[in-house]
A = this chain, B = another copy of it.
Amino acid sequence: MTNDAQQKLNTMQTDPDEQMIVDRIYSAVMEQKLAPRTKLSEAALCETFGVGRMRVRRALLLLDSQGIVDLRSNRGAYVACPSADEAREVFAARLMIETGIVRELARGVSDTGLSALRRHIEQEDIARTKDDRTEMIRLSGAFHVELARCHDNTVLTRVVRELVTRSSLIVALFGANRSSTCPDDEHASIIEAIADGDPQAAEDSIRHHILHVQNGLDLEQSQKAEPDLAKILTGRM
């Protein structure tokens, strides 16, 4: 009964706490360890986390409400598979919200917030030198959450985290090149603009960055479809 999804989740330690299941799956999606369309069967999750079916179903419902999981009636739960339209919506929303976030930060950011951002950049550098792809993906998304967190606003932070997580799914689905995992120095320049107290520059740089990630996607044509065995094997493409 140890199916694919369970193996991917088994890297996480078992912990019966509430909300823990949600966070684990959430993180796994953010780090692109759980690919879109991956089936999340109740039985597998129950065994993986060592909890009853109720807890699992609660977690899946929450994940569904956040667009991370797709709960299909009588069919089970699957890691969400955003459409191209959904992807455009998520990025448009991020553009609108995150430009506002950095603009305000440039108008005045706490020292603790700024130093947290700089520490984050350092961690990104370390991960890059180590060529730790998983960590780079994680930090790449977490950076945007960190920007929101500088406002000491849990409501705002939650919104951004949700959008960033969905972005991870989108990149996994539509990512053509690997520009998304290569923030290069774009993150650093955003922080510079904030530190300089230049709202316009901060806004421009994060807009540029988000558009850069979005342009690295192939939203026009087919999302990375799961291999359509029928068409392939019958030879008639």
Query: Could you tell me which A residues sit within 8 Å of B by CB distance?
Result: 58, 61-62, 65-67, 86, 89-90, 92-93, 96-97, 99-101, 104, 151, 153-156, 159, 163, 166
Contact = CB atoms under 8 A, between A and B. Distances in A.
The oligomer's copy count stands at: 2
The 7 closest A-B pairs by CB, nearest first: A96-B100, A93-B156, A89-B155, A89-B153, A93-B155, A100-B100, A62-B65
Contact of A92 (B62, B99, B151): B151
**What secondary structure prevails in chain A residues at the interface with B?**
helix
A153 B61 contact: no
Contacts of A163: 155
A166 B151 CA distance: 19
A61 B61 CA distance: 9
Contacts of A67: 155
A155 B100 contact: no
Contact of A153 (B62, B93, B156): B93
A207 to B, nearest CB: 11
A151 B93 CA distance: 10
A159 B101 contact: no
A15 to B, nearest CB: 18
Given A86-B154, A92-B151, A155-B166, 15 more contacts: A58-B61, A61-B61, A61-B62, A65-B66, A86-B155, A89-B153, A89-B156, A92-B153, A92-B155, A92-B156, A93-B153, A93-B156, A96-B156, A97-B100, A100-B100
B156 A159 contact: no
A131 to B, nearest CB: 34
Nearest to A151: B92
A129 to B, nearest CB: 35
A43 to B, nearest CB: 19
A159 B61 contact: no
19 contacts: A61-B61, A61-B62, A62-B62, A62-B65, A67-B155, A86-B154, A89-B153, A89-B155, A89-B156, A92-B153, A92-B156, A93-B153, A93-B156, A96-B100, A96-B156, A99-B100, A155-B163, A155-B166, A159-B159
